[in-house]
A = this chain, B = another copy of it.
């Protein structure tokens, strides 16, 4: 039951992708490390939870923007990693941001499926330092 909120009553299973047309100036602001990677934080549009962090190359950033879903570079497998292709946990990009010095990205997404984490948790940050351990799992940003 992926149940994305469809913007059009399409009969195709994939929800509508919303490409983001970045300018050359914007893309030129991004700074990659010696391995050609930039860290990309993923945040849940619905809850504000930080879901995960992974890495992108210039090519997977371009794919992410044009396909409207997160595409990373898997450092362990050394290959393009289209998030959700095997798990169904696709992340549809609502907005894409770069930070003040261009060395970190932030994607606000609609998370499909059970969550972002391969452990089955909604967020990868389900464990907390301190006596409570994982007590704050899934909702680190709330309770202000």
Q: Which residues of A contact B (CB under 8 A)?
A: 20-23, 26-27, 29, 39, 41, 43-50, 52-53, 65, 95-101, 104, 106, 108, 117-119, 121, 124-131, 133, 136, 140-144
Measured in the bound complex, the distance between the Cα atoms of B26 and A111 in whole Å is 28
Residues of B within 8 A of A121 (CB): 100
* B129 engages A26 (CB within 8 Å): yes
* A43 engages B50 (CB within 8 Å): yes
Measured in the bound complex, the distance between the Cα atoms of B33 and A141 in whole Å is 27
Measured in the bound complex, the distance between the Cα atoms of B50 and A22 in whole Å is 21
Q: Which of B98, B99, B118, B144 has a CB less than 8 Å from the CB of A129?
A: B98
* B129 engages A20 (CB within 8 Å): yes
* B104 engages A53 (CB within 8 Å): yes
Measured in the bound complex, the distance between the Cα atoms of B131 and A95 in whole Å is 11
* A50 engages B53 (CB within 8 Å): no
Measured in the bound complex, the distance between the Cα atoms of B64 and A120 in whole Å is 29
